Amino acid sequence: MDKLLVHGKGSLKGSINISGSKNASLPILAATLLTDDASIVRRVPDVSDTNYMLQILRALGAQVERSSGTVRVEPGEILPEAPYDLVRKMRASICVMGPIMARVGRAKISLPGGCVIGDRPVDLHVKAMQGLGAKVVMEGGDIILSAPKGLIGAEIDMRGKYGPTVLGTDNLMMAAVLAKGTTVINSAASEPEVVDLADFLISMGARIKGAGTRCIIIEGVDELKGIEHTVIPDRIEAGTFMAAAAMVGEGVTLKRVRKEHLEAASGKLLECGHLVEFNESGTEVRIFPGETPQGCDISTAPYPGFPTDMQAQFTALLAITPGISVVEDTIFPQRFMHCSEMKRMGADIKVDGGRAVVHGVASLSAAPVMASDLRASAALVLAALAAEGTTEINRLYHIDRGYEHIDEKLLQLGGAVERVPA
């Protein structure tokens, strides 16, 4: 188990490439199961979550080869059971449910366990499969599904208590592409990762309209074929480095981004008084810290709103931005674990019922802190870069789940970080 030593009060300068999106890669890798042909997926980030997904695909019987960012999956015949040992490691494993049901007509998926960012139910995933005609029983910690006559298209509303569900929409879309007839997904998630999955499925031969809107219409087809695909850039990794660049940058350029996916993050940086400049094609962004930054309020929302996955990192930014900022997470109201750790570094943050009131302080100071989940750990890294002294961040495996070589990228930008065995 590694820890990260961050020597603070340095600055970041220069350019890095943003990796392929973790959250687009995971469902796309699951979607390779929808045919027995081989598919090739490029720019899959080398993070532990994508490795877990590849282990699950292998456990389901697929042949998997990985060579840096390129993954080749040849599923052949697949097994219908996703084992608990693997599923418990990653909640996103649930997105093999749709492809297994589409291919085999029955599935046994362990119920994913608890999660530190909040209660993460799977009722909408189950509702989606039931909507397509599957029978579902819960038994011994497993979700057992069967559709002996195959899945049948239907009109299904995927809105939950906190808005649309991303992986639920993905699961339904993946199940519906091989179902009989037409499926209409109302209140669908419209995140870029859902659109990337739809693009992957369409290239495989699926008939999908409306991805990226709240209503997706799918005409089932008899079979799909293997294809090659390059995943979209990771907008959350980009947003994380944008926040870092505003906090401690002296001109940082991020390459391989998509401007249209970064409107919410750049909007907030501009509102705080920082400078954000995209190149003409929108594939590179350069960030300079503003001279007189000021706090702003953030409320997370489904895309194109401000992403919950960037909330922690922007809270770190606001912790050292003059003024009072209010940060609200409407998607995961309990996702504020990073605040208690940042308070140990001198941040002035009060968390109450899904909202954090942040009084920007002049400076933070180093302290040993504990990463609690992926984005919380990223927030701690940003806070540590801005802090006085050397911060020790433990439980680094959280950050390794979703940030490809973050220490190397920070080093490339001149950050003083060291990965050491704990």
Binding part of the chain for ligand EPZ, among 117-125, 144-152, 244-252, 359-367 by CB under 6 A, reads 117-125
Give yes or no: 115 in active site: yes
Does residue number 26 form part of the binding site for ligand EPZ (CB under 6 A)?
A: yes
Q: Are 162 and 190 in contact (CB under 8 A)?
A: no
**Annotated catalytic residue within 115, 272, 296, 339:** 115
Judged by CB under 6 A, the chain residues 82 through 101 that form the site for ligand EPZ are 91-92
Does residue number 314 form part of the binding site for ligand EPZ (CB under 6 A)?
A: no
3-state secondary structure 358-421: EECCCCCECCEEECCCHHHHHHHHHHHHHCECEEEEECCHHHHCCCCCHHHHHHHCCCEEEEEE
CA-CA distance, 282 to 340, in Å (whole number)?
A: 36
Judged by beta carbon, residue 3 or residue 375, the one nearer ligand EPZ is: 375
Does residue number 356 form part of the binding site for ligand EPZ (CB under 6 A)?
A: no
Total binding residues toward ligand EPZ, as defined by CB under 6 A = 27
Mention every residue, 6+ apart, whose C-beta is less than 8 A from residue 199: 211, 229
Dihedrals phi, psi of 200, to nearest 5 degrees: -60, -50
Judged by beta carbon, residue 135 or residue 225, the one nearer ligand EPZ is: 135
Is 33 strand, coil or helix? helix
Residue type, 44: V
CA-CA distance, 125 to 123, in Å (whole number)?
A: 5
Judged by beta carbon, residue 90 or residue 320, the one nearer ligand EPZ is: 90
CB of 358 to ligand EPZ, least distance (A): 20
CA-CA distance, 385 to 247, in Å (whole number)?
A: 8
Judged by beta carbon, residue 8 or residue 402, the one nearer ligand EPZ is: 402
Judged by beta carbon, residue 23 or residue 39, the one nearer ligand EPZ is: 23
Does residue number 375 form part of the binding site for ligand EPZ (CB under 6 A)?
A: yes
Judged by CB under 6 A, the chain residues 120 through 179 that form the site for ligand EPZ are 120-125, 160-163, 165-168
Judged by beta carbon, residue 123 or residue 223, the one nearer ligand EPZ is: 123
Of 50, 240, 308, 325, the residue at the interface with ligand EPZ (CB under 6 A) is 308
**Which helix H or strand E contains 313, and what residues bound it?**
helix 311-319
Q: How far is CA 379 from CA 42, 150, 337, 342, 374, in A?
A: 28, 45, 10, 9, 9
Could you give the residue ranges of the DSSP H alpha helices within 166-301?
166-176, 192-204, 235-248, 263-271
CA atoms within a 13 Å half-sphere pointing along the CA-CB vector of 129? 30
Judged by CB under 6 A, the chain residues 245 through 304 that form the site for ligand EPZ are none
CB of 374 to ligand EPZ, least distance (A): 5
Please list the active-site residues. 115
Q: Interface residues with ligand EPZ (CB under 6 A)?
A: 23, 26, 91-92, 120-125, 160-163, 165-168, 189, 193, 308-309, 331-332, 374-375, 402
